Amino acid sequence: MRYGHVAGIDRPVARIVLGSTSFAQGRADLAKDLIETYLAAGGNIVDTAAIYGGGWSDRNIGAWLRSGGRREDILILSKGAHHDSRGDRVSATEISYDLGLSLERMGTDHVDLYVLHRDDQGVPVSEVMNTLHHHHARGRIRAIGGSNWSIPRIQEANAYATQHGLVQFTASSPNIALAVTKEPMWANCISISGDEASKGWYQRHAMPLFSWSSQAGGFFSGKFKRDDHSNADMVRVYYNDENWARYDRAVTLGEQLGLTPTQVALAWVLNQPGLQTHALVGPATVEELQGSLAVADLELSPEQVRWLSHGDQ
């Protein structure tokens, strides 16, 4: 297992992050099996959110902790302030509510990395950063970041934090995947796949990236076909000639390396030149998790990474 560093977290952070979207109600045993399989392979960080599974992702992590899991063995990446039917929820009240709810459900007094699901550019960064600093100062959060925050807003937030002596964003969580999205899967989501300018900014600022949907929603699994348009969302977001060519190249390289196209696509995320990328994976079974863990230490050359993206151009 390869590791990275996130400012504010006092130990290395695994580059493959165990997602908990499959930790549904009644799935405590599955959650336990996944966590323990992941830890045994050298992993040390689990991704959860107040909204996941109606709160059951948090609750099942808490059940594992209460059943003998040691809090010091695992880092927790928690998210809050997800928009809902009422609209945007990026406010001091909603951030505090979601954080408190997750801490209570998990039975822990802190999370190691707290990430905001969405941004609302109508909310001043002062409200967001003052709120996050309040919880950081009280030990509830070790480090902070934004998911689907644009680079200009991250810069604005960190400039305010610097000016006022507050904790800064030290991580970002956009989408990064071998398949380049044509449009967001969900409203107000940000992908930097194919965005070399954004990648360059993250390189220059050495900010770790935690990629959600790092395997492109299963695009490389083989269950989607060029002539099968039954999944409207996948067609809308991923179906074009360029992505199918990337799929073909992942098949070709996978055959050479003895890997599946999905494993190749995951390795691509973990081997971005000049970037510290962490890939969030959401296995539904222990076998799926083991498939992802099999490429935790795989190194692709910069030439292989470029070829997967662009072919022989």
Q: If you ran DSSP here, which 8-state letter would residue 71 be given?
A: G
pLDDT at res. 278: 98
Distance of alpha carbon 29 from alpha carbon 33, whole angstroms: 6
The confidence band for 86, taking pLDDT boundaries of 50, 70 and 90, is: low
Backbone angles phi, psi at 220, to 5 degrees: -95, 10
Mean confidence (pLDDT) of the chain: 95
Amino acid at 312: D
Distance of alpha carbon 175 from alpha carbon 172, whole angstroms: 10
Task: Report pTM.
Answer: 0.95
The position carrying tokens 């190249």 is: 249
Q: Is 185 a residue whose pLDDT tops 80?
A: yes
Helix (H) or strand (E) holding 278: strand 277-281
pLDDT in tens, 233-292: 999 999 999 999 999 999 999 999 999 999 999 999 999 999 999 999 999 999 999 999
Q: Is 152 a residue whose pLDDT tops 90?
A: yes
CB atoms within 10 A of CB 2: 16
pLDDT at res. 304: 97
Domains of the chain: 3-310 (3.20.20.100)
pLDDT in tens, 206-239: 999 999 999 999 999 999 999 999 999 999 999 9
Q: Is 88 a residue whose pLDDT tops 90?
A: no
Residue 48's closest CA among 16, 29, 22, 70? 22
pLDDT in tens, 1-12: 999 999 999 999
